Structures are given as structure tokens and as C-alpha cells.
Amino acid sequence: MSIQTTVLPSGTTIIEVDGVVHSFPTEADANAAVAVIENGAEFLAQANAYCAFKGLTGKNAVGKVNVITDFLAYTAAGSPTVEVVADEVVAATGDEAVDPAKVEF
């Protein structure tokens, strides 16, 4: 399997997997996708083993497997943090950011 990653000046990240191109809004999103592609089968096996150990079946197991595989991909991608975009929006619009917790009715 061949995976190539390109970060564009806009911040958008492109990954190419065996000739198929995928676009992601951030490099962190692309890294998480690469982790899933590279380790997906291993993550799925670990999640299924955990559910079997806990005796989980049916929809409950499926939900847990999805969360566990997503978490394993997150840690494999280096535990990326959320990128702040609110400041860019404020700068572009000139409007002040408002803390929803401090809004008076």
C-alpha cells in the first residue's frame, strides 16, 4: 500500500492511497485517516476482543467497537488537538466573539 501526504498552503491536506485521492480540512484529520488505513484491521481486532471480554453483543458491541477503533486511530495519529478557527472568523468579520455562557437574556 502506498500513501502520500501533501499539505496545501490553505491548510487542506491531501492524502493519496494507491492512486485514490482524499482531501481533509486539516493535517490532523488526514493523520487520523492514515492511522485508520494503516492499522484498521488491528484496531478492529482489539475492539472486538474487548467487547468479547466484556460480554457485549449486538448494537451495544457495534457502538463500542466504533468508539474504540476511533480512539485507537486518534492515539495512533499522535492525539491531535482541536484547531482553533474562531479567531479567524472574528478577524474576517470584525465581529467580537461572544462567550455563550455570558449571554444575558
Residue 75 has pLDDT above 80, yes or no: yes
Angle between helical axes of 27-54 and 58-76 (0-180°, round to 10): 140
Contact 86, 93 (CB under 8 A): no
* Domain boundaries, given as residue ranges, for the chain: 3-81
Question: Rg of the Cα trace of the chain?
Answer: 19
Q: What pLDDT, in 10s, does the model give residues 28-60?
A: 888 888 888 888 889 999 999 999 999 999 998
What percent of the chain stands above pLDDT 90?
A: 42
- Following DSSP, what letter does each residue of 48-65 receive, concatenated? HHHHHHHT--HHHHHHHH
Residue 1 has pLDDT above 60, yes or no: yes
Confidence class for position 77, pLDDT limits 50, 70, 90: confident
